[in-house]
Amino acid sequence: MAEQECIFCRIGRGEVPAEFLYRDDSVFAIHDINPKAPVHLLVIPFSHLSALTADPQPTLETLGRLVAVAAQLAQEHGVDADGYRLTINQGPDASQTLPHLHLHLLAGRRLSDLG
């Protein structure tokens, strides 16, 4: 999928309306439109990275920023004390449906084991 057609890129550019829960120069956060938990947020880099295997240094910096913002959002949503799950789905076998690296923050109830 080309960056011009990517829904996350379009949201980041303001072409598709969304409620931004967080936004800085490198990442933004929105609610998942198909939540799997009472709190289900997406933390998304503005830069279009399709995979974790992209250029290692920018990916490392991006991952650090995604996790830091997710921790901040967990506090702001009051789920940091009871716990939350951070997930990155990578590839079709992991149920990645959009080829733009992003992090899921899931919380608000006891989550099942992934086992």
SS (H, E, C) the chain: CCCCCCHHHHHHCCCCCCCCCEECCCEEEEECCCCCCCEEEEEEECCCCCCCCCCHHHHHHHHHHHHHHHHHHHHHCCCCCCCEEEECCCCHHHCCCCCCCCEEEEECCCCCCCC
Average pLDDT over residues 18-32: 97
> What is the structure's pLDDT at 107?
96
From 40, 77, 100, 102, the catalytic residue: 102
Average pLDDT over residues 55-61: 75
* Residue 113 scores a pLDDT above 80: no
Answering whether pTM is above 0.75, one says yes
Structural domains in the chain? 7-107 (3.30.428.10)
Q: Is 102 a catalytic residue?
A: yes
